[in-house]
Chains A and B, each alone.
Chain A
Amino acid sequence: MMPYSSVADEVAQAPQNRPVYLDYQATTPTDPRVLDAMLPYFTEQFGNPHSRNHSAGWQAEEAVEKARSQVASLIGADPREIVFTSGATEAGNLALKGAAYFHRGRKNHKDHIVTCVTEHKCIIETVAQLEREGFRATFVPVGKGGLIDPQAVADAITERTLIVSVMAANHEIGVLQPLSEIGRICRESDVLFHTDAAQATGKIPLDVGSMALDLVSLSAHKVYGPMGIGALYVRRRPRVRIAPLFSGGGQERGMRSGTLPTPLCVGFGVAAEIAACEMEQEAVRLRRLRDRFLSAVQSHVPNVRINGDMENRLPGNLNLSFVGVEGEGLMARLSDIALSSGSACTSAALEPSYVLHAIGVEDELAHNSIRFGFGRFTTDDEVDFAARRISEELLKSCG
């Protein structure tokens, strides 16, 4: 057997020879504590959690249920309201298509969806598909800071509106949408409210009660858990009904068939528990690191533009445009820092970001923008190093 504990230790120490990782919105390194918790379920305690008649199966089921509770606690939910999925993209698809398909075919079914122009592709593409299938959609714009006006959501809601989907935190500019206000509006209008919380999971407090959320998509790998697992919160009271995306063994109370990956559930559970416990102090630390980075860059380089509201923002996110400096080229010269010009899903594409476009950033400046993501394992030294390197390169570019 390999000495896995030492493997886990290496992750935490962020080896000196590696590039500095500042792309925490793309994915986060798996926390060594999460790895430790998962490992026994990969090796010793295997079992199909749906095998009801032997102890290997029971133990797996018990571990899955504990993880379900841990994930539920993170958002103030009941464990029975958590449906495990393969990730937040599947969860978002399940939330929207699930609600839409459940209601389709009913008498006078509601067929209108309200969402936002800066949503993640998984929401935009899902809504687009539903539109092709006969549903109607309204994409509410955002203001200069990237925030949606709750009144604009209220205005978009009609008698035909089935569901409102507004993300908790944006994947590029990190801005936090006013969920409580939107939740109140949806509740008053008797409309379902879904939030894609992939970026917000474990980063900011989320409470399904006070935010009046009916459906919430969660991701594990953005919160130091493993890839390949996420969850959809589905409210029980009043009961929210959704149709499954897949049919099969009827797992997850019929909402999501397929064998649950026990180790990944366990990893997500532990990641959620750690986040719940450390969120507050981590947010303070990340804001400090982010501000330290920003002021260091600003002190050296003129013409730095901040994209997105700084008040309502993920603690570990920054999105900057450097006037006259092409972002991709700058990143290529900064091979010792792992950065992204936008969301990872679309980083191969060279189109300017639709999120930056939506907040009024001109296309040219959008091409000059870089997303900086700070996280649990980012150190002061790394931030200082990154700020220095970026300033050097920028000063070279500006001559």
Chain B
Amino acid sequence: MKPAVYLDFNATAPIRDEAVEAVMGAFRTGGNASSVHGFGRAARRLLEDGREQVAALVGVSGDDVIFTGGGTEANNLALLGCGCPNVIVSAVEHPSVLAVSTGHAPVPVDGDGVIDLAAFEARLAEENGPAVVSVMLANNETGVLQPVGRVSEIAKRYGALVHCDAVQAAGKIAVDMRALGVDMLSLAAHKIGGPQGIGALILSTDLPLSPQIRGGGQERRRRAGTENIAGAAGFGAAASAARAGLANFAKLSGMRDQLEEAVLSVAADAKVFGQKMARLPNTSCFAVPNLPSDTQVMALDMEGVAVSSGSACSSGKVEASHVLAAMGEHELGISTIRVSLGWTSGSGDVDRFVEAWRKAYLRNRKQAGAPELVAS
């Protein structure tokens, strides 16, 4: 059953109608893209069309796109495959990037979650041998944008390669890979309304990337395995739709700001993370002291409102988010929820959220023996 109000687009987005149509069309076509007969050629066309559409989303050409099984694989392929023994990452990266980082601790971020460029440059200066830098474009939990262009400039001065995890940013804000100056960029289809199970690593230059999955030599020998045709077609359709919908997506910030205003009017002690920063238009991450994340999320779920208490991969664990910890929010980390809107969200969804959240908040205040608030 679809929840009445789905506000967890940063975890996974509902697939777009265009993508479903493309996926089903590809299943109907059949064929292995590596076969030379008509079925194979038809599959190849779908694959290559999808590749071009995905490329267009970030302003490159299809030749630069390597399809993978998802964003996690793309991040791993970039950092393990580029052949640089030194991997420098920020402290707020996705676990799939953090896990690959080597040597020193990640580069710290400030209280808003933005990378400390001075510390970053100092780290680069210390490295011996080829280094690769990985900094995400938008954080999955707070939506805060990183100065990736600046990161690239600095990295280039030290001859380092730059990888950017754009999984959360793509389709939500305009992404121009060349303007960012990065060498590698990761995308995931299901975050932009495409199907789960496909992602891409995009190369801006002809990097000699060493494949992490070996076999039949598909994807120009960068990633073996029978190509996921329906996935590529769906990813492509979603990329085109997302690109066309960027202007509308930007308007979600209005709704998001209303939501935050309402939360702050109910709970004056609430803290919205990165509120003053450049961030994704759809993401709100906030905390209320002594109101545990799980209490909020469960109460909202009972009311048919789906949000998240952090990134989905770690939401099975009770530990606080590493992103908030890196921002110095150790106390509030366990009381934080993330609301992420999308192209199907309407103002009614925000109203439903606010109503359900207010109820949960007031009930908790009452149980905690706090003085009644005057309901506005």
Mark A residues whose CB is within 8 Å of B: 1-2, 4, 7, 10-11, 19, 21, 23, 26-27, 29-30, 35, 39, 42-48, 50-57, 59, 85-90, 92-93, 120-123, 125-126, 128-129, 219, 221, 226-229, 245-251, 257-264, 331, 335, 338-340, 343-348
Measured CA separation A87–B100 after assembly (Å): 23
**Does B27 make an interface contact (CB < 8 A)?**
yes
- Which residue of A85, A228, A339, A345 contacts B218 across the interface (Cβ within 8 Å)? A345
A246 to B32 Cα, complex, angstroms: 26
Partner of A245, one of B24, B213, B215: B213
Whether A250 contacts B230 by the Cβ 8 Å rule is no
Q: Number of contacts between A and B (CB, 8 Å)?
A: 275
Shortest CB-to-CB span from A282 to chain B, Å, is: 18
Q: A56-B306, A227-B230 given as contacts; is B34 within 8 A of A50 (CB)?
A: no
Instruction: Please measure, in the bound complex, the distance between the C-alpha atom of A87 and the C-alpha atom of B24, giving whole angstroms.
Output: 19
Docked complex Cα distance between A247 and B77 (Å): 10
B70 within 8 A of A: yes
Q: Which 5 A-B pairs have the closest CB atoms?
A: A345-B216, A261-B197, A249-B313, A122-B215, A248-B96
20 further A-B contacts with Cβ under 8 Å, apart from A30-B30, A42-B24, A123-B215, are: A2-B20, A7-B24, A7-B28, A26-B31, A29-B30, A47-B306, A51-B306, A51-B312, A55-B306, A221-B226, A227-B227, A248-B96, A257-B95, A257-B99, A258-B72, A259-B70, A259-B72, A259-B313, A338-B38, A340-B37
Whether A19 and B226, one on each chain, are in contact in the complex, defined by CB atoms closer than 8 angstroms, is no
Q: Which residue of A lies closest to B26 (CB)?
A: A227
Given contacts A19-B37, A248-B96, A249-B313, contact A125 B215 (CB under 8 A): yes
Contact assessment for B71 and A258 in the assembled complex, using a CB-CB cutoff below 8 Å = yes
Q: Which of B221-259 contact A (CB under 8 A)?
A: 224-231
Tell me the bound Cα distance from A83 to B306 in angstroms: 28
Decide: A259 and B230 in contact? CB cutoff 8 A.
no
Contact with A along B32-65 (1 / 0, CB 8 A): 1011111110000000000000000000000000
B306 / chain A contacts, CB cutoff of 8 Å:
47, 51, 54-57
Task: Bits for B1-22, please: 1 = Cβ < 8 Å to A, else 0.
Answer: 1110010100111110100110
Residues of A within 8 A of B2 (CB): 44-46, 56
The listed residue with most B CB atoms (<10 A of its CB), out of A11, A250, A260, is A250
Contacts of A343 in B (CB 8 A): 216
A10 x B313 contact (CB < 8 A): no
Task: Decide if B38 touches A335 in the complex (CB within 8 Å).
Answer: yes
A56 to B30 alpha-carbon distance, docked (Å) = 30
What 1/0 mask marks residues of chain B from 146 to 184 whose CB sits below 8 Å from any chain A CB?
Answer: 000000000000000000000000000000000000000
Give the distance in Å from the alpha carbon of A335 to the alpha carbon of B297 in the complex: 58
B315 at the interface (CB under 8 A from A): yes
User: Which range holds the interface residue count of chain B?
Assistant: 35 or more
On whether the beta carbons of B12 and A43 are closer than 8 Å, the reply is no
| Chain B residues with CB under 8 A of A29 | 30
Closest CB in chain A relative to B192 CB, distance in Å:
13
The distance in angstroms between the C-alpha atoms of A352 and B334, with both chains bound, is: 61
Q: Assuming the A-B contacts A129-B214, A247-B99, are A226 and B39 also in contact, with contact meaning beta carbons closer than 8 angstroms in the complex?
A: no
- Is B24 a contact of A2 with CB atoms below 8 Å? yes
Q: Which residue of A lies closest to B37 (CB)?
A: A338
Interface residues of B in 66-110 (CB under 8 A from A): 68-73, 75-76, 94-96, 99-100
A-B contact list, 15 entries, CB within 8 Å: A26-B32, A27-B226, A42-B24, A51-B8, A56-B306, A89-B216, A121-B215, A122-B224, A249-B72, A249-B314, A258-B69, A258-B72, A331-B36, A331-B37, A344-B40
Chain B residues contacting A257 (CB-CB under 8 Å) are 72, 76, 95-96, 99, 313
Partner of A23, one of B32, B71, B315: B32
B309 contacts partner chain A, Cβ-Cβ < 8 Å: yes
